[in-house]
Amino acid sequence: MTSATELPGQPRTGPIGGPATPRATCVLAPNPSAMTLDGTNTWILAEPDSSLAVVVDPGPLDEGHLAKVVATAEAAGKRVALTLLTHGHPDHSAGAARFAELTGTRVRALDPALRLGGEGLGVGDVITMGGLELHVVATPGHTGDSLCFHLPADRAVLTGDTVLGRGTTVVAHPEGRLGDYLDSLRRLRSLAVDEGVTTVLPGHGPVLDDARGAVEYYLAHRAKRLAQVETAVENGHRTAAEVVAAVYADVDRALWPAAELSVRAQLDYLEGHGLI
């Protein structure tokens, strides 16, 4: 889920979908909305010379989309051998069980309720399939079960809803926790600085070619919003709705309900740190 008004980092121009890196191809789900941008990005990952593929976030329960993901992999000479989830929001995961039926794959996720086949995902796990290597990165905050996947060979990271190709992610109370989210952004910044990650393969929106710039934009944006919320409280705005009206006046009113949940998370953070 996102607020779609700003552009972090450097979005890649051109249509969303198709090959993004030598090992990653996007299939865009037909579920566009104010909260999902152009739709959910389903990622097919494979080594160029391998016949096996990994799919990340099959997306919504849409038979046409799921069939298109399978067909796209098969057209490239790949068989889907594993399904992974970045987190449990339905626009990423609702189609996973059906996709597992279509492909005969396991579904691995951090949340046990989303797994099929028994084996889950843990922080620091390294997933290998047909020569492909993915590193599991803990990035809670947007949700408690949010993960990213580092694809070292392409200097890329699949971020789900933690970093988007356009706009900024909603960290919605009570599921979202802002302190965790800020720690997760710093972890992603370390991947860019220390591991040379340059490319963001997001769960929504276009590919970003400046991973460090995108993450630093997010951190700056969060710091700015926190300062604005703190000022709004100091000026007498006590409820989350009052703070939204004061701080998010430049945001489409259709997004205000989501903004109110975000403000609740910000208020919890500020109260927890003794700032208000």
Cβ contact 5:167 at 8 Å: yes
Counting the structural domains of the chain, the total is 1
pLDDT at 179 over 50: yes
> Each residue of 118-134: pLDDT tens digit?
789 998 999 999 999 99
- Evaluate whether residue 218 is within a structural domain: no
Query: pLDDT at position 7, please?
Result: 57
| Banded model confidence at residue 4, pLDDT cuts 50, 70, 90 | very low
Beta bridge partners of 208: 11, 200
pLDDT band with cut points at 50, 70 and 90 for residue 5: very low
At 15 the pLDDT is 75
For residue 146, give the amino acid letter.
Answer: S
Long-range contacts of 190-198 (CB under 8 A, 24+ apart): 191/137, 191/150, 191/157, 195/150, 195/152, 196/155, 197/150, 197/155, 197/156, 197/157, 198/155, 198/156
As a whole number of angstroms, the distance between CA 96 and CA 145 comes to: 16
Note whether residue 226 is domain-resident. Answer: no
User: Binning pLDDT at 50, 70 and 90, where does residue 8 land?
Assistant: low
Distance CA 74, CA 86 (A): 23
Mean pLDDT of the chain: 94
- 257-270 per-position pLDDT tens digit: 989 999 999 999 99
Query: Does residue 73 lie within any of the structural domains?
Result: yes
Residue 1: predicted pLDDT: 47
pLDDT of residue 65: 98
47: in domain = yes
75 is in which domain, residue-wise? 2-212
CA distance 19 to 52: 16
**Is 49 within the bounds of a domain?**
yes
pLDDT band at 182 (very low <50, low <70, confident <90, very high): very high
Give me the percent of the chain exceeding a pLDDT of 70.
96
pLDDT, position 252: 87
Q: Are 223 and 247 in contact (CB under 8 A)?
A: no
Q: Provide the angle, in degrees to the nearest 10, between the axes of the packed helices 240-247 and 256-272.
A: 110
pLDDT tier, 6 (very low <50, low <70, confident <90, very high otherwise): low
What's the CATH number where 152 sits?
3.60.15.10
User: 10-14, 52-56, 156-160, 178-182 — which is least confidently predicted?
Assistant: 10-14
In a domain, 206, yes or no: yes
The verdict on pTM exceeding 0.75 is yes
Is residue 257 included in any domain, yes or no?
no
Is residue 7, in this structure, part of any structural domain at all? yes
For 84-98, what is each residue's pLDDT tens digit?
Answer: 999 999 999 999 999
HEC readout, the chain? CEECCCCCCCECCCCCCEEEECCEEEEECCCCECCCECCCEEEEECCCCCCEEEEECCCCCCHHHHHHHHHHHHHCCCEEEEEECCCCCHHHHCCHHHHHHHHCCCEECCCHHHCECCCCCCCCCEEEECCEEEEEEECCCCCCCCEEEEEHHHCEEEEECCCCCCCEECCCCCCCCHHHHHHHHHHHHHHHHHHCCCEEEECCCCCECCHHHHHHHHHHHHHHHHHHHHHHHHCCCCCHHHHHHHHCCCCCHHHHHHHHHHHHHHHHHHHHCCCC
